[in-house]
Structure 1
């Protein structure tokens, strides 16, 4: 008697959305989640800072309370550790797709390049907070794919001014966001296989087409998804 072969479980997939405030990345997360669910994937949509009850409390502090760059970095990584332990790692172990609005690249861009905090210390905190036992050895958790919404700081500032009351980060001057944008460019240059640069100056449908094409090229979406934002 022949025993039917079980369908192999799909591996988890970790995709992050990055870019300066006002780049428009958040508007595409739900669209991608819907497209992936239409392909039969289980999807977890989350964010940083935040993602767990504890990390959301830390988010409120980070976005509203004055603090020095070291305190800021410590709170970011404390929240990230809880987020990984409680949400991201369990979802990936189940074979889910995790879509996260910001992750560690944002820390190096905002606290590192933007605030001028020592990136060597950020790397130490990264290794401490993102140790992933499921990966074995001393590996740390990185996204499988990072979608970088690249937008000139002046354009981002104009969008934010028309959108909402800014928080502690959004209210920073344009030269701060110029440093943050350069921080993202440096991160992308250091991990070209992981990063996909999206031209966020374009209108929403064109940005979605870029995003969907990148996912299709990697086998995560059918090519036709580019027309269904």
Structure 2
């Protein structure tokens, strides 16, 4: 039996990494292997691409950014995601194609359709079974970002309007593309309950292959 491919999305600071861990724990509790990964950076090559994408010193134009993301994604799917799914594992990825549509397609102004076309070729037909967008009020996201201290990478250095456009794009594209929007406010355990309930409703409870 093929595994399942779940993607967690949302603006910086909404809690994707924590929810990835909690969902993986729930999957393992059901005696199914869970693979936690991220884009970019889910493979050794991806770690190197991630360093280029987030470098604060060397400038990178929007088109190059989009192509590097797509290259990382193609390698990530080939080397990690598809083999795991074929084994019957469940894969939880912190970011995937939706991030490119939002960050490069909308916030960078390249166009959603153009970025989607590049990623359609890069992903070669592999689609997530479920895309979950974690959503918070703008004021709470801003507070979480400020609570982290100084910006740690090039994207975090972007201005408030850039990050606001990212949040608007996630909400807009979630409706247009069938992504599931989940309230990420409250304690992380409460958020996990919402996400897990959604996963069960859409994909069923994990069962060993």
Equivalent position of 2:161 in the other structure: 175
2:8, 2:184 → 1: CA distance? 12
- 1:99-123 C-alpha deviation (Å, 9 max, x unpaired): 0000000011111111111223212
2:36, 2:28 → 1: CA distance? 12
How many angstroms does 1:164 deviate by?
A: 4.2
- 1:15-64 C-alpha deviation (Å, 9 max, x unpaired): 01100001112111111111101101111110001111111101011011
What secondary structure, in the 3-state scheme, does the structure 1 residue paired with 2:19 have? helix
1:172, 1:157 → 2: CA distance? 13
Is residue 109 of structure 1 aligned with residue 102 of structure 2?
yes
Is residue 45 of structure 1 aligned with residue 36 of structure 2?
yes
How many angstroms does 1:219 deviate by?
A: 5.0
**1:43-192 pair list within 5 angstroms:** 43-64=34-55, 65-131=58-124, 140-166=125-151, 167-192=153-178
> Highest relative contact order (Cα 8 Å, sep 6+), 1 or 2?
2
Runs of at least 5 residues in structure 1 that lack an aligned partner in the other structure? 1-9, 132-139, 223-229
2:194 to 210, 213, 219: 210
RMSD: 1.6
CA contact (8 A) 1:92 1:98 kept: yes
What secondary structure, in the 3-state scheme, does the structure 2 residue paired with 1:126 have? helix
Q: 1:63 to 1:153 in 2, by over 3 A?
A: farther
What secondary structure, in the 3-state scheme, does the structure 1 residue paired with 2:165 have? helix
TM-score (norm 1): 0.83
2:79, 2:171 → 1: CA distance? 30
TM-score (norm 2): 0.91
Equivalent position of 1:134 in the other structure: none
- Name the stretch that deviates more: 112-121 or 15-24: 112-121
Aligned length: 203
Equivalent position of 1:28 in the other structure: 19
What secondary structure, in the 3-state scheme, does the structure 2 residue paired with 1:57 have? helix
How many angstroms does 1:201 deviate by?
A: 2.5
How many angstroms does 1:221 deviate by?
A: 3.7
1:141, 1:153 → 2: CA distance? 32
What secondary structure, in the 3-state scheme, does the structure 1 residue paired with 2:127 have? coil
